Amino acid sequence: MDIIKRVDKHRIVAVLRELPCLWDERSEDFKNTKLKDNARQKILLVLSIPDARDTAVALSRQISHWKSYYRKELTEVEKNPGYKPRWSLYNDLDQFLRPVFLERVRASLQVRADRMKEASPSPAGLAQEQAACDEWTTLGNHVAATLKSFDRKRATNAADEISDVLNKYSRYWNL
């Protein structure tokens, strides 16, 4: 794994770009394990990285990490148009990963927005609920304070889970 970390990441990305079986989930080749193994071997060969099983595994993990992080950054770009990623590989990966991930990222953001709309009562209803249920307001404030204490990723994950639970019970009770 140390060998992979010592190789110029931009060189790995340049070779990776030519091997869509490793990153284009829309392609049938993406499901072909043998083809993907051969593609990873090609990267090791082109970059003169000594071939070893643990090196190929480390390369696979690195590529997977980059794709996940790219998707996270793309999500942030889509949510906040003024956001400028500072990750050094973003622009290189964006040149070929954007078409693969953009539709999924936008769909995910739309689902989140729809969940938030479903979970949010009207302003008038909210005022009535707050007057009648101070205990729920206290709980809401506690949840908000707790989420604010988390890093962005943990807070987003926790908020999604909370939203899922609320939606589950809303559907169960037909609210």
- Do 107 and 137 have their domain in common? no
- Do 39 and 15 have their domain in common? yes
Q: Which of 111, 141, 156 is the last residue of a domain?
A: 111
User: What confidence tier does 174 reach under pLDDT thresholds 50, 70, 90?
Assistant: low
- Do 55 and 136 have their domain in common? no
Q: Which of 111, 145, 161 is the last residue of a domain?
A: 111
Answer whether residue 116 is part of any domain.
Answer: no
* Host domain of residue 152: 121-172
- The whole-model pTM stands at 0.62
Answer whether residue 129 is part of any domain.
Answer: yes
Answer whether residue 34 is part of any domain.
Answer: yes
Q: How many domains does the chain have?
A: 2
Q: What tens digit of pLDDT does each residue of 53-85 get?
A: 788 888 999 999 999 999 999 989 888 888 999
Q: What tens digit of pLDDT does each residue of 83-118 get?
A: 999 999 999 999 999 998 888 888 877 777 777 777
Residue 22 to residues 8, 31, 57, 102, 123, Cα–Cα distance (Å) = 19, 9, 13, 17, 48
- Do 75 and 21 have their domain in common? yes
